[in-house]
Structure 1
Amino acid sequence: MESLGLVAAGRLLAMPMVALVVLAAMLAPAAAGEVRFGKNVRVGGHDFSNQTFDSKHRARIYLYNHKPRKEGCIWRSDGRGGRVKVCHLQRK
């Protein structure tokens, strides 16, 4: 009978700890979502080596099977204080 009391007491002590861990996970900022491309990185046959993208510098890459109307890459404002590299590329 005493062992049941100890198990119940252990559960009561564990509950606040679990709640604290869940609360800390919710309040902690998201992991830095940064992508760093190293050497010899290719997207659709195009070289994207040594470029870094994060929440302020993002990329939108559109790949086409035919020649795109506006071929190439251009930096644009995203309206939130960051920049977006928009690329319209033909698959190689």
Structure 2
Amino acid sequence: MQSHRFIAVGKALAALALSLVVLTAMFAPAAAGEVRFGKNVRIGGHDFSNQTYDSKHRARIYLYNGKPRKEGCVWRKDGHGGRVKVCHLQRK
């Protein structure tokens, strides 16, 4: 009888520990990363070599099968102190 009680307590503690790990992972901030494109990097046939993007300098690239209305790339403010490179490009 005593061993069954210890097993039940052990399972309850394991479930509690697992739920704490899951909650910690949910509320932990995302890791800050940086993407550096090296030599000969092409996106949709367009050259994006030697460019660096992080949380303050981001890129949003739209690829179209036909000719886009506003073709090319422009830098825009993102409203949070950073900049976003918005590109409307035709696939080559």
Same fold (TM over 0.5): yes
Question: What is the one-letter code of the residue matched to 1:47?
Answer: D
Structure-1 separation of matches of 2:79 and 2:85: 13
TM-score by length of 2: 0.76
TM-score w.r.t. the length of structure 1 is 0.76
Other structure's SS at 1:49 match: coil
Moved over 4 A (4+): none
What letter is aligned with 1:14?
A
Aligned to 1:11, the other structure's residue is in SS state helix
What pairs up with 1:50-65 in 2 under 5 angstroms?
Answer: 50-65=50-65
Match of 1:81 in 2: 81
Contiguous gaps of at least 5 residues in structure 1: none
| Runs of at least 5 residues in structure 2 that lack an aligned partner in the other structure | none
Give the paired residue count.
92
Identity %: 77
